[in-house]
Structure 1
């Protein structure tokens, strides 16, 4: 699915790159390290920094019209040799477009700064160590494709590890899968800002056990000044599902004068207004939209026009359809499973809850990251009033009068919820019977073990300094990192 999605996005990107009709220069901040200014090419130039078998590069060469060249890199010489054989096996079309290199990915990207229209990074684990060089390798207006598979870290299981790798403290809450996307986007923007560059997210997805992100990169010292306003912190109630955003920076414009200042706050009182509990704070996260509606529409069009070219096309289309229906300006989502667990109540039907929010004058949508999640611009005070009205119609027994559920339901709702069917309560995709959440392709679906290679070395006997029986000790070396 990852490869099919990437091919579809690159096909879309190749079209808009061609429509731009311009050869972008090497960014000024990268010119000192670029070997030479890249000559205009008929098509896009792609770098796959961690190519391994070369399968992805081969598919790119065969399935993406308008590719000028592909650089497939790996730091393991044996892997590069295997990659060359795979490319040769796939014929002259692949051989003519793909250049194999044996180098450290970070070093290669810094040596060839600004040279590639698209840079694809798909590591096993965190991409954080690759980001500072990756944002320099991308040409002006180019595409950066990033995968992160360390979802346990990004979702808050090891917050200190996440802060060390990405510079963000995650919260282990029901919206953690979108949080993972926003943490990686923040890390990319932070790396880009150091080189006077900004990112423009096209598509940012939480898929299965990883996140996959597609952003364009531009050089603009003026726009870098706004990075603080695109970053935020989340205050999460410890007693209920309420959360509140606080932007890290703000811009004050008075006529021609523009002033950049720290954000105001905190946006919450000392205690949660619903339960009286305290708050935990997570961040910084990317706080702006994570998708570009035009990009989602463009990639969906590519999928519809080339159905037979994508083995996992149905799953990709379902995922992008769900993403296209999201409220783009509403960060994070509410997981209704957790809300009903907090209240110990019967869950309302999706269209009933959506109708109540729409009838109250608010917007609502689903989210690609969670089948039971909703996005809404309603304040939590209004949301909890709607849930109180629901519980009044479907009573529950509260065993502990001091529980958070009892405190939530003790308040009389100020907003009278109207659960009658509202126009727009059913999404267009559902009304058209377009799938949005597909089942896993096989049982026990998930990540496989990390690739490791065995490096032989001579071993001396600990007792008498003589050679061991076979004279060889096998040690395990992880890809790209020597084990001391």
Structure 2
């Protein structure tokens, strides 16, 4: 499968950004836990013995990363690189500055991307890949190779390299209290690596596990959940989109435990099939997942989830975040049936409510949120203004959804201990803001995160306006912003999608969506139906024209007045004619952001 440079780079940059924010979040959580433990110990002032008997919280020692299918080792090396702390006497960074990525047309090694990473393991079952990652083409000719092997936090400058012998580097590593080797390259089956980590003590497990194969990641999901510490970050990529999108539903059932639905929403249903598989895998280990960011990009899907312990919570989450999909076989109508929900008479349709056609039952899929709104806002804030307010050409107008996000949480980390933060050196240093400043794909990342922030993450699946228009034999679909405005005017929530520019995500029932389309068709009559069929631009058959006539024959219960400008003001019923001001600007911005993501490469 062809994997272009753009695809690799945005995947790597997004991973670097999320792991950087995760590292800062973990440090904050552990600091808060330590403060709470200290406060509890101080509250029990019954004597020195009581204070001595209180267990000291484990100190934050930076995070450990496993790149399970490393190939050339680029991403594992990207995870390394704490900016060197300043020298106590001179205030200058010791012997060198952060390694800068050179502008080349191909992926290359770099070390100074993610602060707070103590150790990275680059694993691959391929002997050639392990050899490349350990010594050859990927980084052995760079100064970063020596630094990775010796555990230094910054590569020496050229002058230092000429004057300082190799033992100086070892001495500096010992002085900084770093392990002798910050990068471990292994050639093992990933199942063995994950099993060994699962059997280890909690503190010896990984904080981040990245599984990024060509094809499906399903075989390693359960092992990866077990190899993580409580609250660890699982990063997963799957490229078998034909399977996840429903073209091969039987294969999806074998791999992911879900009969993948097939519809116009395939970009999102692929994500939800993968998240359901990850949730089920975590539940088998007595854990649950919390999605932080789930995106569909180009030919693959990428999810970032936190894995937390708790058998009872895992069982409850597995039952409350799964749903079956009931998809009409004649039109885009679909409905969700939550697993474990009490059956209500008439709530489960036996046929398509619009056409009477049979329903295809698919799933289960993940029905919970795709993203954490707080995480998306913090990531967006870092990408849009990584230098403390300057967008540096990354996003243009990109302050819309992130003005109050708090800057990504990276600003206060610079004052931490020297082994944790990496203070500020020239070139934009520590914290997630400094990480984002070094990413070359910031413009596309900003578009992606804006679209993700604008969509409704808790609404599963979507309609595409072009599918709705095709079902009604319309010559052109209505603008997505028009449909969004009409549904919002009727009191429903509606938004675009981060992947599909013509998508409509809404909590409105399918009947309300079709009512908007019926009103649009009334204002813009289908030419093919007016002619009595034949000669339609998309080769529609008599059966499809019959479906269109059947849907249009229903009187809409939701009246929409599109006006002369085509913007819809909706009323909840024909008798309740209160015009509600549409919100075309926000909807149009979300659609434009989704279009930028879809065509960003």
Partner SS, residue 355 of structure 1: helix
Alpha-carbon displacement from aligned partner over 1:236-290 (angstroms, at most 9, x marks no partner): 111211111111124xxxxxxxxxxx76688433221211111001101001111
User: Is residue 2:583 matched to residue 1:424?
Assistant: yes
User: Is residue 2:147 matched to residue 1:93?
Assistant: yes
Give unmatched runs, 5+ long, in structure 1: 25-38, 251-261, 443-484
Distance 1:200 1:265 in 2: 33
Distance 1:429 1:298 in 2: 23
Partner of 1:325 in structure 2?
454
Partner of 2:28 in structure 1?
19
User: Is residue 2:334 matched to residue 1:243?
Assistant: yes
Distance 1:370 1:66 in 2: 35
Alpha-carbon displacement from aligned partner over 1:323-372 (angstroms, at most 9, x marks no partner): 11111221101111111111111311233222221221212100012111
Q: Following TM superposition, by how much is the alpha carbon of 1:157 offset from its aligned partner in structure 2, in angstroms?
A: 1.2
Greater share of helix: 2
Q: Following TM superposition, by how much is the alpha carbon of 1:412 offset from its aligned partner in structure 2, in angstroms?
A: 1.5
User: Is residue 2:208 matched to residue 1:118?
Assistant: yes
Partner of 1:410 in structure 2?
553
What's the TM-score once normalised by structure 2's chain length? Answer: 0.66
User: Is residue 2:77 matched to residue 1:58?
Assistant: yes
Partner of 1:79 in structure 2?
129
User: Is residue 2:441 matched to residue 1:312?
Assistant: yes
Distance 1:263 1:201, change over 3 A: farther
Distance 1:240 1:19, change over 3 A: same
Distance 2:223 2:592 in 1: 44
Distance 1:291 1:384 in 2: 28
What's the TM-score once normalised by structure 1's chain length? Answer: 0.81
Give unmatched runs, 5+ long, in structure 2: 1-9, 34-57, 81-111, 152-181, 387-432, 534-541, 568-580
CA contact (8 A) 1:429 1:436 kept: no
CA contact (8 A) 2:481 2:591 kept: no
Partner SS, residue 200 of structure 1: strand
Which residues in structure 2 correspond to 1:341-380 (within 5 Å)? 341-345=470-474, 346-380=476-510
Distance 2:327 2:592 in 1: 35
User: Is residue 2:238 matched to residue 1:145?
Assistant: no
CA contact (8 A) 2:501 2:598 kept: no
Distance 1:167 1:266, change over 3 A: farther
Q: What value does the CA root-mean-square deviation take over the aligned residues?
A: 2.4
Greater share of strand: 1
User: Is residue 2:388 matched to residue 1:303?
Assistant: no
Q: 2:64 aligns with which of 45, 54, 57?
A: 45
User: Is residue 2:18 matched to residue 1:9?
Assistant: yes
Which residues in structure 2 correspond to 1:184-333 (within 5 Å)? 184-226=274-316, 227-250=318-341, 267-304=347-384, 305=386, 306=433, 308-333=437-462
Q: Following TM superposition, by how much is the alpha carbon of 1:49 offset from its aligned partner in structure 2, in angstroms?
A: 0.5
Distance 1:152 1:266, change over 3 A: farther
Q: Following TM superposition, by how much is the alpha carbon of 1:149 offset from its aligned partner in structure 2, in angstroms?
A: 0.4
Q: 1:105 aligns with which of 182, 190, 194?
A: 190
User: Is residue 2:491 matched to residue 1:437?
Assistant: no
Q: 2:518 aligns with which of 356, 374, 388?
A: 388
Distance 1:93 1:264, change over 3 A: farther
How many residues align structurally?
418
Distance 2:212 2:32 in 1: 27
Distance 1:179 1:428 in 2: 22
Moved more, 262-271 or 342-351: 262-271
Partner of 2:578 in structure 1?
none
Partner SS, residue 271 of structure 1: coil
Alpha-carbon displacement from aligned partner over 1:182-219 (angstroms, at most 9, x marks no partner): 01101111111011100000001111100000000001
Larger Rg: 2
Moved more, 88-97 or 386-395: 88-97
